[in-house]
Amino acid sequence: MSHSPLYREDAAPEVGQRIRELRDKQGLSLRALAERCGLSINAISRIERGENSPTVASLHLIARALNVPITELFRTTGNRTTVFVKRDSRMRSQRSGMDIESLGVGLHNQQLEPFLVTLQPGTAANSEPITHSGQEFVYCVEGQIEYQIGNDVYTLSPGDSLLFEASQMHVFRNTSDRSALILMVFHTQEGNDSVGQSHLNT
């Protein structure tokens, strides 16, 4: 399956530089990082130089190899306290039947992950219910989705919302015959993997 970049093309050098900073901080050579994440030395080198835009899957592998949440790859050095995202500059990724847009990443000590998710008819975010740490907020903007939390099933139409402890087994899907647009906000904990990956991984 092919994946679109997680971010716009002009962000590639900044992300690559951040990967190199994290690699150097941990004393890892290109070869060592390549062996950890399963990517080639040349691929990582090109990413670090900003010559290649990594896919979502590649970023997940690199983040896991560096033992950091994927959001850490987009953080600038220093204590960034404000992130402004223009509508046409959102970081995007795609998987079969699902389009994902990040509404903000890069804040110092970031604990919230906001996404806009477009779900095509018949698409489920995951094949099986999952759990993760923190809390989850969902707001239906357009269309209709079905959210299962434990043994309870909630049908969300435009204007409906859910807020719940994400330690409960849960999964969502579009069972209607039209696309659905939802706002999702995940609560994260510093030092843990992005909980958004649990739902929206590719």
Instruction: Report the CATH number at residue 190.
Output: 2.60.120.10
Instruction: Report the CATH number at residue 16.
Output: 1.10.260.40
pTM: 0.67
- Give me the number of domains the chain comprises: 2
Distance CA 172, CA 73 (A): 27
Distance CA 44, CA 58 (A): 9
Residue 1 lies in a domain: no
64, 19 Cβ separation under 8 angstroms: no
Residues 91-121 have pLDDT tens digits of 777 777 888 888 887 777 788 889 999 999 9
Distance CA 32, CA 23 (A): 9
Q: Which stretches within the chain are classed as H helix?
A: 12-25, 30-37, 41-48, 56-66, 196-200
Residues 51-107 have pLDDT tens digits of 877 776 788 889 889 988 777 777 655 667 888 888 887 777 777 788 888 888 777
